[in-house]
Amino acid sequence: METAAPRLLVVDDEPFNLEIICEYFDGTGFELETAEDGEAAWRLLDSHTGYAAVLLDRMMPILDGMGLLRRMKADERFRSIPVIMQTAAGNPDQVREGLAAGAYYYLVKPYERDSLLSIVRGALADVSARLDLHRRIAEHGSALQLLVNGEFSYRTVEEAAILAAFVAQACPQPDAAALALSELLVNAVEHGNLGISYAEKSQLRRDDRWNEEVALRLAMPTHADKRVRVSLNRDDGALSIRIVDEGAGFDWHRYLEFDPARAFDPNGRGIALARMSGAATVEYQGCGNTVVLQMHKQQDTSQGT
């Protein structure tokens, strides 16, 4: 059975910009629909289903991009659709505002075609991974809520995804915990044990060679025996999860929050996303190859510092 082409909604009040973006996606396997303001885009969203992502201009008449973004994120039907802002309004405060409102990425005009395609593909890959996490969570029972102590180890990105879905069932907020765990468990393999730097990952994602490079490094003799170790402990109702990799560590302080300077990179949001999930307080220790999650109860969604 043939898979349907991913459908994108492109919103921009300049017909010339819409024409250019449609040309960028010509022959790439995507199906595009366009709207010239936020209200027109909202009508399309409200009457159609199945948009894989929204490419959204910020400055428009009637309903601007920020207004549409906030309306989408307030509606359960559209909350999970990644929104990529593309605009000339690119000062740090505007970038920060867009990311805080729920934008997946923030592209400042003019941008290159390859950058746009890389970010859209990355957004769809992330959505697919999250849907797979939810599916895996649904397969596990609630008996893990009774788990008091547990020790795990894994080696690959695929094993990290399986473990994230499994361990999340021991947490008070399984869905949000799965997101936080997935980001941090994958980081421990990629950046920790395999030693792939932030800059290297950015370029590999742009070149669509990320999975290939991870597989190559996993096959190297120097990485063959490296494991990430995860321990879970429940004490008097409080649950903590410790993740330790065998890497040299990194300067984790700069990744705790969304940084507007990195808004145009196709990676670098994992740690901030984990902290913003509402599931846990995230604490790095030592050189950065150890991270501890103190899991929040359902009613406690405050962020730790």
Give the model confidence (pLDDT) of 52-95 as tens digits: 999 999 989 889 999 999 999 999 889 889 999 887 766 777 88
Better-scored residue on pLDDT, 210 or 8? 8
Highest mean pLDDT: which of 31-40, 87-96, 172-181? 31-40
Q: Is 196 domain-assigned?
A: yes
- pLDDT over threshold 50, residue 305: no
Q: Is 61 in the same domain as 195?
A: no
Q: How many Å from the N-terminal Cα to the C-terminal Cα in the chain?
A: 49
What pLDDT is attached to residue 259? 60
Residue ending a domain, among 88, 111, 134, is: 111
State which residues form the domain around 196: 143-295
Is residue 123 situated within a structural domain? no
pLDDT the model gives residue 269: 58
Residue 128 included in any domain: no
The pLDDT of residue 163 is 92
The CA–CA distances, whole Å, from 289 to 114, 116, 188 equal 33, 32, 8
Reported as a single tens digit per residue, the pLDDT across 153-170 is: 999 999 998 899 889 888
pLDDT digits (tens, 9 = 90+) for 181-221: 888 999 999 999 999 988 898 888 888 888 899 999 999 99
Does residue 24 lie in a domain region?
A: yes
Share of the chain above pLDDT 90, in %: 41
In this structure, of 8-17, 32-41, 244-253, 294-303, the range with the lowest mean pLDDT score is: 294-303
- On whether residue 130 sits in a domain, the answer given is no
Please, what is the angle between helix 38-47 and helix 65-73, to 10°?
Answer: 30
Q: How far apart are CA 34 and CA 81, in angstroms?
A: 16
Give the count of domains, the chain: 2
For residue 87, the domain's CATH number is 3.40.50.2300
Our CA angle for 27, 28, 32, nearest 5°, is 90
Rounded to the nearest integer, the mean pLDDT of the chain is 84
**Is 137 contained in some domain?**
no
DSSP per-residue letters across the chain? -PPPPPEEEEE-S-HHHHHHHHHHTTTTT-EEEEESSHHHHHHHHHH---EEEEEEESS-SSS-HHHHHHHHHTSTTTTTS-EEEEES--SHHHHHHHHHTT-SEEEESS--HHHHHHHHHHHHHHHHHHHHHHHHHHHS-GGGGG--EEEEEE-SHHHHHHHHHHHHTTSSSHHHHHHHHHHHHHHIIIIIIS---HHHHHHHHHTT-HHHHHHHHHTSGGGTT--EEEEEEEETTEEEEEEE-SS----GGGGSS--GGGTTSSS--HHHHHHHTSSEEEEEETTTTEEEEEEPPTT--PPP-
- Answer whether residue 237 shows pLDDT above 90: no
Q: Which of 1-15, 128-142, 266-280 has the lowest mean pLDDT?
A: 266-280
| 87 lies in the same domain as 156 | no
State the pTM of this model.
0.60
Q: How far is CA 299 from the centre of its chain?
A: 24
Instruction: Say yes or no: 186 and 288 in one domain.
Output: yes
CATH code assigned at 199: 3.30.565.10
183 in the same domain as 265: yes
